[in-house]
Structure formats: C-alpha cells, structure tokens
Structure 1
C-alpha cells in the first residue's frame, strides 16, 4: 500500500535535472568556448586552425539531493528504506532532488581569420534538465502511512512538484574581438525534443479509518507529458524535429587593466514546442476508498483506481516549455601560475543558483583545479579537476561534487549506517579535444603567405627574382 501511495503522490514520474561544470569556465577548452561563446579556443601563432573532438563525447553529469531530511534521503538511496519515525512532519518542509546531464557528441571550431580572431563553430549535444521538490510527508509515507494516524489534517502533505525535459541541441556559434579588450559571441541552436514531463499537485489529502481499515485518498493537480509512461519507444531518442525548438546564448568578455577579466552570458534562452500527440492531464482524483483489510492486493487496487482517475482526464494537445535559461557573470584575476575565478549563475525561469570560486594552478601543460560552490538549495560543494592542455590538445577529468562523489562510492560498497551529514551528491565529467590543420599567424610573423607558399606562387617568385641569362 505505502509504495503505491507514494508512487502516485509524486505522479508516477521519474525526475531528472542539466549540468554546468564550473571548473571548466575560462579554461578555453572546446567545452568552454561552446558554453561561453565569447571565449576563444586559440592562441595566435601557436594553435592550429581547426579544433575537433573527433566524435569522442564530452560527458557531464551531476546529481544532488538536499533538504530538511537529508538522513532519510541517504537511507533511502543507500539502503532502499526510510525510517519515517525520525522525519519531521506537519512543518511544510521540502527536499529538492536533481540530476542533470549535458553531453557534447560533436564539436568543431574553425579560426576563420586572425584579424579580430573570428571563430565559427558547430556542435551537437544531448541535454537533460529538471527538478523535483518532495515534501517530508512523502518520504515518511515510504516507510509507513500509519505514522499519520494522529495527524488531524493531512491536507497538502503531498503537494509535490517538478519538471524534466531532454532534447537534442544543434548549435552554430560565432565570436570575434571587437577591440583589443572587448570580445563578443553568440550561439544559436535548433532543438529536437526527446521527452518532457511536468507536474504539480495543487491539493492532496488522505485519511485512515482504523476501525474499518480503510484508506481514503485525494489528489488534485496537473501533469504534462510528451509520452505515455508505459510506452516510451527507443526511436523517441533520435533527432526527428517532431517537437522543434530554438535557443540563443549571447555573451561578452572584457579584459580590464591590471590583469582583471570579466565575462557575462545570457545562456540558453529558448523554448520547445511539443507536438500535438503530447498529453495533458488535469486530474481530480478525490475520495478514492480502498479496503486495506481484504488482501495483499490492496496496493494494486489503489494503483488501478488512481491510474484510472488520472487517465480519464487525459487529452492530447501541443504546448510550449521554456528551457532553463541562465544569467552568469565571471570575474578573473591572474597571478602568474595561479588563476582564480568567481562565478555567479542564476536560473531565469526556474529555481536555482550558484556562487562558485574556482582556483586553477598551472604547471607547464598541466592544470589542477579546486573549487568551492554555494548552491541556493543551501549546500556547499567541493570540486576538483585535472587537465592536460597544450595549444593543440586537451584532456580533462573532474567533478563539481568531488567529496560527495567519493562518499557515494564508499557507501555503495558499505551500506551500513550511520551516514555522514549534509547533502547527497555526485558529479563526473570528462572530455577531449584536438586541433589540426595549418597554424594561422599574424601577417607580420607569418611563415605561410596565402598564394605565395603554394607551388604556383613560388614558381612565380622565382621567375621575378631569378638572374637574367647573358
């Protein structure tokens, strides 16, 4: 019973939330220049003309869970159970769960001209973004709904909400130097929606009649989904543009005096139009009574009753969803081999924000990074990164939640409580890039002059400057 009840109180929905790898900001890697389009991937007179990842994906993934009941979340995650007796109820408190990915399948960047450092790039990435807020009472119900026997009113206990959307993103980027100090860049993208789910329980209640051993359940809310939960086909994950969308990222960077550097972005401002075969549920499942005394099939009967009530409210129609656009600012000051960056990132349409300090130490072609970031969900994340970077090659691996990721590995092997305090989190990213082609140089230093270094050009010069025969 309790499993079915909890399943539908969160509307039978798997929520995932898209990643930002702050340690890669201002690194001038391929990932950085596509995420922050005013950045340059090149060192003039040193770098080769074309940068490419050779279809080796840059993989990024983050997951966090935080709220008033971190201990219960950890027990559920590592041990598959919750001790609801220790969960504070009737206090209107929430827990936030998030998982996000941003994977670049292909990235290619071309230095078009040395003058003004004009760069053009194409990219294909697969993204997923979302968030869920779960009440303490929902977690407690995973243990035993009898914990609510003495509660006078359970109204609003299960008013959970969340969203998730995944999509392909095909981007075209352009950047250039406006002056020696000011650079601008933009990234326009065509989107192909994969899946979308958003729900909000506006009203919820349930009551237990101990004498009759009957449960009465009521939920009122809205659910939108681009697919049926029991009929998600593999072909839905291919780019097909049946649910198209557009997005725009624009940014600028400025080199101040005394080694200071500032960068700002409006990132992923856009939408997806989900096709007319998407589903909209305005459900009002009230006064569903289930006899708990008859048999062990009570779970199934409650599940079937809620499923029928919600399914009966289903209509097919098209609708729009907004992307999780962000506003970001980065401030940097170089101190020789040590380069700190202060980053402030805030979601524009949804909840969430970060304040992050990254600390980069450069030694020859190696970069070690340590970071500390405060998230508006009230937790502090410690991250780390190792990078090998030359003017024409790069490889990096890291985590924005390094300590918590190691903790998850530890508890995956040893599921014995008590667990550590604080939020639960995991993060991992890895990427590769390589530059090839001829080196584009300043005209004054160029070893290669277009039209002159070619065979026909050298023959032309020899004819002009050869000595005349007597």
Structure 2
C-alpha cells in the first residue's frame, strides 16, 4: 500500500510542477505609492506630468548613476493562509483547517519594477519642460489557486472519494520584459501640466497556464495513483531550456507601451493627478510555444525502480511537450488607471490614490501620509487592496534639491512579521494575509543650476574675466 505520507509527496510534486510550468519567479513588482507626488526622479518617470526639479536651486541633469531602484513585493491572500504559512515557515503542509468543496480561491502575486538607469534634463525654465530617458526591467505574475489544491497535500482522504475532480485547476500568468522609455512633460497653463512616456519593449519571458479540468484517482488496493490534466499553456521557452542570454535585450519579442498623465492645481490648494499607465502589448516570436494539452492518465505506482518524482516529471513533460506547436501571439501589459488627490497642510502632506488594473482583476485605495522635516520625509501608508486585505507601509526619505535617497516597504508590518517569525520561530504564526515588500533608490543632480532670468546669478554671454574689458565680456561667449 502507498502510505499517506508517500501519497502526499506525489501530490506535492504535481503542485510544484504546475508552479514551475506557470513560471512565476522570485522577482516581484509593486507600485511604490509612497513615492507618488514626491517630486523624486522615480516619481517623474512613473507619473510623467510630475516635475523633478526646483528651478533656481536644482541642477540641470538628474541621474541614478546605474544604481538601480530596487523593488520587491509579493502577497498571498485567501482562505488557505494556515496551509501557506506552514509551507513558508516549516516547509510542510497542514490543510486541516481549510474549507473544501466551496471552490474558494487564493491569490498569489509576484511582481517587480526595477529602474536600471534614469537620466533626466530640465530643458527650459519656461513652461518647466523636462526630458527623460530610462531603462526598466519589469515582471508581472499572479495566480489563482483553489483551497482544494492546498488541502489535498495534508490528507487526500479529506475528499472521501477514490476519484476527485477539478481540484488541481489553476489559472495564472507571468510576464517579464525590458522597457526603454522617453518621457516629456511641460506646464500647459499656469495650473495644468501634461506629460507622456513612450516605451519600446523587449520581452524576456512569458507563460500563461490554465488548467480547466483535472482528476486524481486513488486506487489503494492496487497501490496506484493516477493524475490527469487538461488545459492550455503558452510560453516563449521550454522549461528545461531557459537560457541566460534570454535576459539580455534582443528585441526578438518586441513591444510598445504608452503612458499619459496630467495634473491640475486648483486655486484653493487642491492638487489632482491622473494617469493612464502602461497601455501596451508585446508580440512574442513565432518560435514561442502553445500547448492545448490533455495528459491522459499518468500512473504513479510503487513497483517501478524509477523514483515517483522522476516518473511524474517525465510523464508530464512527455504528455505536454509532445503536442506543442510553434506560434506567435500577443500579450497585453498590466495597464492601470490612476487618480491622486492632494492638499498640503504645512509640513503634513497627505495623498489619496485610487488605482485600478485595466485588463486584469485588482485595484488599490491608498492613503499616503507624508511629514516633511527639513531634508527628511517620513511616510506612513495604508492601502486597501481589492484582493481583500489592508497593507500598511512606511518610508524614510532624505531629499534636497540635488540629492535624494529613500527606502521603504508597502508591506512594512507584514515584512517585519515574516522577519520576526523566522528569527524567533514561534509555534503560533501571525494572523492575516502574507506579504513581503522592500524598495530603495538614489538619484543625484549635476550640472549648472537653471534659473529664472530675473533671479539669475549670471547673465548669459557675460563672462567674469578680469583680463577682458567690459564690452568684450558683455559680447563674448560664455565658457
């Protein structure tokens, strides 16, 4: 007979294999809401109508000197929290408290948005015209996983049946790409500013998996478990042949995206900003793969000399890879519509942010509270995510007209909970959703200060050279 422990091991391998197929990696993306309306270099690229300069004090060029803006963010929300936390902290499953039979779903998100290079120039004081170039590496991944997938790891007998239907159904995708962008902003009127960001994309990896039907048959007298999966899979690479050179920009998988933004200052001190962000697509090459798979029954018994792990992996690979076809297809980016409302009260500067994904599920309602003290900015954030959880974040920023450094977390409380739990290893885990987030960035301005003509410390064309006379200094070229 196959023991319960062995059967759970086999089912665990099924789940791990589907996650590998899904291609969700450990790079993660987040919207750093705490940096919105911060007038940082990051803010000016993410919200293109925003200014990055203080005229008469800021120097003309801003650059991050290839010190990347690093951001990580991931979350797990749903009714299977207890099982996920035992997996996270103990490396094992405990599905005894999971409700089954109601088709309840859990949401896993793993995303990233890292700026490798940001270069920006204040072109003109008139209308505050700014130009910028940037290079980002981004990733967007999410999956919906049923309660039953987690529960079956604990004890297959929870289902009280020799044949279990559709408990391994899964829906998720993962997409990563390079983004090379040009941005432009200016004041259209005294109160209205506009900005745009045009981007050329180079796809790195794309995977979309949907398991529509699944079945597990348990035959204890025969010492056999068999598994079958039916669904669709798209990917631009074979899972046993991911090559490092795929990460380099090569434009075999080209794409375009567009961001438009505008901001308006009302007479009574209110400030409103709106964006349509990252509206675009990627065309994956004709060498990409598409699978409409039906694995049939994959038998796992205890009689073979080959390990169960290898038998399952070989069977899935043989049944799915054998029916692949090369096909080009188009994927859309996770575009968003956003609105920010702000009014300053002295050193206290709150922002209300509404953000909604255009093509996918999910949205955020965030309240960002900034307190400015000299060159320091202290930020506390509360963000309600429509996946059903409230995240609390924090940020520390040091900012002068020509230098900025910041670090923070959109899941500050939950990130600290994870760190504390790993260090102290308690028997009772923290309650609520699971989240992890961290980001950090730096930028420096250099060059000459671009000033208003009436405030200028130097008159263009007037050279301070005691060896030259007044007329020559007035008419000569500036050095």
The change in CA–CA distance for 1:208 and 1:11 in structure 2 (over 3 A counts) is farther
Q: Which of residues 196, 199, 208 is equivalent to 2:209?
A: 199
CA displacement at 1:10 relative to structure 2: 4.4
Partner of residue 226, structure 2:
216
For residue 140 of structure 1, give the secondary structure of its aligned residue in structure 2: helix
Within the alignment, does 1:416 sit opposite 2:426 as a pair? yes
CA RMSD of aligned residues (A): 2.0
- Name whichever of 441-450 and 130-139 sits farther off: 441-450
Partner of residue 388, structure 1:
398
Q: Which of residues 123, 128, 135 is equivalent to 1:117?
A: 128
Partner of residue 60, structure 1:
71
Question: Counterparts of 1:43 and 1:363 in 2: how far apart (Å)?
Answer: 18
Question: Counterparts of 2:99 and 2:162 in 1: how far apart (Å)?
Answer: 15
Q: Which 5+ residue runs of structure 2 have no aligned equivalent?
A: 1-9
CA displacement at 1:456 relative to structure 2: 12
Question: Counterparts of 1:291 and 1:464 in 2: how far apart (Å)?
Answer: 93
Question: Counterparts of 1:85 and 1:463 in 2: how far apart (Å)?
Answer: 86
CA contact (8 A) 2:59 2:445 kept: yes
For residue 427 of structure 2, give the secondary structure of its aligned residue in structure 1: coil
Within the alignment, does 1:305 sit opposite 2:315 as a pair? yes
CA displacement at 1:340 relative to structure 2: 0.3
- Name whichever of 109-118 and 291-300 sits farther off: 291-300
Question: Counterparts of 1:322 and 1:258 in 2: how far apart (Å)?
Answer: 40
Partner of residue 379, structure 1:
389
Partner of residue 83, structure 2:
72
The change in CA–CA distance for 1:458 and 1:355 in structure 2 (over 3 A counts) is farther
Q: Which of residues 7, 11, 16 is equivalent to 1:2?
A: 11
Question: Counterparts of 1:464 and 1:332 in 2: how far apart (Å)?
Answer: 46
CA contact (8 A) 2:462 2:473 kept: no
Q: Mapping of 1:64-463 within 5 angstroms?
A: 64-148=75-159, 150-151=160-161, 154-292=164-302, 297-453=307-463, 459=469, 461=471
Q: Which of residues 21, 26, 41 is equivalent to 1:30?
A: 41
For residue 186 of structure 1, give the secondary structure of its aligned residue in structure 2: strand
TM-score, normalising length: structure 2? 0.92
CA contact (8 A) 1:11 1:199 kept: no
CA contact (8 A) 1:34 1:173 kept: yes
Question: Counterparts of 2:295 and 2:174 in 1: how far apart (Å)?
Answer: 23
* 1:109-130: CA deviation from partner (whole Å, max 9, x where unpaired): 1000000000000001111111
Q: Which 5+ residue runs of structure 1 have no aligned equivalent?
A: 466-470
CA contact (8 A) 1:280 1:315 kept: yes
For residue 65 of structure 2, give the secondary structure of its aligned residue in structure 1: coil
* 1:322-357: CA deviation from partner (whole Å, max 9, x where unpaired): 111000000001000000000011111112111000
CA displacement at 1:154 relative to structure 2: 2.6
CA displacement at 1:30 relative to structure 2: 0.5
CA displacement at 1:455 relative to structure 2: 6.2
